[in-house]
Structure 1
């Protein structure tokens, strides 16, 4: 099951900008690319390095640790059979940015 978590306002993220947010003890990087919002896990699936400061070339973010490149739209690494990072649906509702995340036992309240 998923839930939507508010992570700021749409005005916080102009085209070409990124923002690091913290949700349920993890971190997510939001990107505004040409007016479209994208959200990825901040942890590279190769060795856990932070992707928040990785260079962005079009829709491809490069891991600063080892240079692996991932498409922020799909999470897929370039090439067949590569690693994949977690992406999150993100949308603006009434000026607020909402990221959809999976429910975890710790985030479910009785």
Structure 2
């Protein structure tokens, strides 16, 4: 059953930035794209590199290791060498909080 977890204060992640969060068996990256928050696994599906140290261009997240790009809106992989889509988690802001739905 899914549960909602407050992972950050919205002010903690500036627009155009992202941050890694660990805990409860999850390693997530949360990105702020023009005031809208997106949450995903923080492991590239190719070599498990931390995506939080990659580059964010709009909703596109680029892996720092081999350059695979993922769309944070749906997790779709856009560039090789990754072939598997990225897991995305429902995420929203609620007042000053960033809430992620975990299963």
TM-score greater than 0.5 by the shorter chain: yes
Shorter-chain TM-score bucket reads 0.7 to 0.9
Q: Distance in 2 between matches of 1:56 and 1:10?
A: 17
Once residues 99 and 38 of structure 1 are traced to their aligned partners in structure 2, the CA distance between those partners, rounded to angstroms, is 9
Counterpart Cα distance in 2 of 1:67 and 1:8? 27
Alignment match, 1:22: 22
User: Residue 106 of structure 1 corresponds to which residue in structure 2?
Assistant: none
Aligned length: 100
Structure 2 counterpart of 1:99: 100
Unaligned runs of 5+ in 1: 103-110
Match of 1:108 in 2: none
Query: Contact 2:91–2:98 at 8 Å: present in 1 too?
Result: yes
Post-superposition offset of 1:23: 2.9
Instruction: Answer whether contact 2:17 2:56 (CA < 8 A) is retained.
Output: no
1:3 deviates by 0.4
Partner Cα distance (1:54, 1:13) in 2? 15
Name the larger-Rg structure: 1
The residue that corresponds to 2:50 in the other structure is 50
SS in 1 for 2:66: coil
Q: 1:33 aligns to what?
A: 33
Please, what is the CA RMSD of the aligned residues?
Answer: 1.4
Measured in 2, the distance between the counterparts of 1:27 and 1:36 equals 20
Q: How much has 1:44 moved relative to structure 2?
A: 0.8
Question: The residue matched to 2:11 in structure 1 has which SS?
Answer: helix
Match of 1:6 in 2: 6
TM-score by length of 1: 0.83
